[in-house]
A and B are shown apart, each in its own frame.
Chain A
């Protein structure tokens, strides 16, 4: 029996498991191949929903579905945490302490973890919308926020979703205007490098919109610490900024599992950017946020990578030479307010073009979020 193990039932792991179940259908049914998905959370969580929670447009429950409902019945599902990866023996240990699983091919799709504690004072002094609890707390805070200085600061580098930091100030601007509160709220957006975004075209687009909407822009702004009593942010570059409501894109980290297995120093798996094979071990792939590739940590990336790795793994399971490769394809929608959006598309080394925002693209983004449950099932 050829055993394929996937760790992590998020966007990447779920799409991959379902793709393999269909590509290797006859081999699985004949008992020659097993596709096993091991995931810690019995719910699959679709994180892009969290962006809408602070504005009361979605709830945290909207982001969740039982993973069992999303995976093909040919996939063997194990709900448990993987606590150790032994790449010399091709073996995984689970939190139940008794189970050890052998694999012929392994895929790590464990995503990224939030770590606000990495910046002193940030957990106490700042809010975020990158996880369920943070998004709900921010919703309550925003509901009562009638005046003062709102700062959206990109603290974590790298972080999930290149779009969300730019979207939030544009959405909050619109949301406050609708409620007649905008005149009493000052909005500032801060970014680590010398322009508003890593992608030059997005930076240009956002800078113009920020100016139009009276959102101040601070660049070369890397947060060193936050003083939650004085409500002041201090930067590596030596600047101070006072705030009344701080919304941060928090620091992210990979997984200890990866560090302990020697697959990447920072918890992100070192991979070949085209084959997605780990550089430090045989028979191991990484997809999604945990894979260290020079493009965004985005759901679309996890999805396209899953397609490539499904092909490579299926080829090997059949004794063929894998040929599928990933070219860095990334697609991101960008909300320009509460009812207009645009999108960008690019591959490695490519600079995208940002189209004029429109209402149909906003609907397309919401429509994608709705139909995501079909995407995860491998139907789209």
Chain B
């Protein structure tokens, strides 16, 4: 089993309007310990580029982006 099959924290940002999935993620990541695996669920296509870009800037690790039927799951590990 890989980490992404069983994330420690799931953030449901599907249909998030304001302030949006990346802000939901940033707010949550601040409260989490190093090594925590997070799944961010989002319906906003631009999250699939915005989120990896921020993870890179902030030094967290992108694990996987999975396209599901009606949303994307972005998996990451907090550093």
Contact = CB atoms under 8 A, between A and B. Distances in A.
Q: Do A and B bind each other?
A: yes
Interface of A: 157-158, 162, 192-194, 197-200, 220, 222, 236-237, 266, 294-296, 328, 330, 346-351
Interface string B54-78: 1001110000000000000000000
Nearest to A236: B58
A294 B50 contact: no
B31 interface: yes
B30 A157 contact: yes
A330 B18 CA distance: 9
Contact of A350 (B17, B23, B28, B53): B17
A277 to B, nearest CB: 16
Contact of A192 (B16, B18, B23): B23
Question: Which bracket fits the contact residues of B?
Answer: 20 to 34
Interface of A, secondary structure class, is loop
B17 A346 contact: yes
Contact of B50 (A158, A193, A197): A193
Contacts of B18: 162, 198-199, 295-296, 330, 346
Contacts of B43: 349
A157 B19 CA distance: 9
Given A157-B27, A158-B23, A294 B13 contact: yes
Interface in B1-60: 12-20, 22-24, 26-28, 30-31, 43, 46, 50, 53-54, 57-59
26 contacts: A157-B19, A158-B19, A158-B23, A193-B54, A197-B19, A198-B18, A198-B22, A198-B23, A199-B18, A199-B19, A199-B20, A220-B54, A220-B57, A220-B58, A222-B26, A237-B58, A294-B16, A295-B16, A296-B18, A328-B15, A328-B17, A346-B17, A348-B15, A348-B16, A349-B15, A349-B17
Contacts, number: 77
Contacts of A200: 46
Contacts of B59: 236
B27 to A, nearest CB: 4
Contacts of A330: 17-18
Contacts of A237: 57-58
A220 B54 CA distance: 7
A251 B16 CA distance: 20
Residue of A157, A236, A294, A350 contacting most chain B CB atoms (<10 Å): A294
A193 B52 CA distance: 12
Residue of B26, B28, B31, B46 contacting most chain A CB atoms (<10 Å): B26
- Sorted nearest first, the 8 A-B pairs with minimum C-beta distance are A198-B19, A349-B15, A294-B16, A157-B27, A198-B20, A348-B15, A296-B18, A237-B57
A77 to B, nearest CB: 33
Given A266-B31, A328-B15, A348-B15, A294 B24 contact: yes
B37 to A, nearest CB: 16
A193 B26 CA distance: 9
B71 to A, nearest CB: 11
B13 A157 contact: no
Given A193-B20, A348-B15, 17 more contacts: A157-B19, A157-B30, A192-B22, A193-B22, A193-B23, A193-B50, A193-B54, A197-B19, A198-B22, A199-B17, A199-B18, A220-B58, A237-B58, A294-B17, A328-B15, A346-B18, A350-B17
Contacts of B17: 199, 294-296, 328, 330, 346-351
Contacts of A295: 16-18
A192 B21 CA distance: 12
Contacts of A194: 22, 50, 53-54
Nearest to B49: A194
A349 B46 CA distance: 13
Nearest to B30: A157
Contact of B27 (A158, A199, A296, A346): A158
Contacts of A351: 17
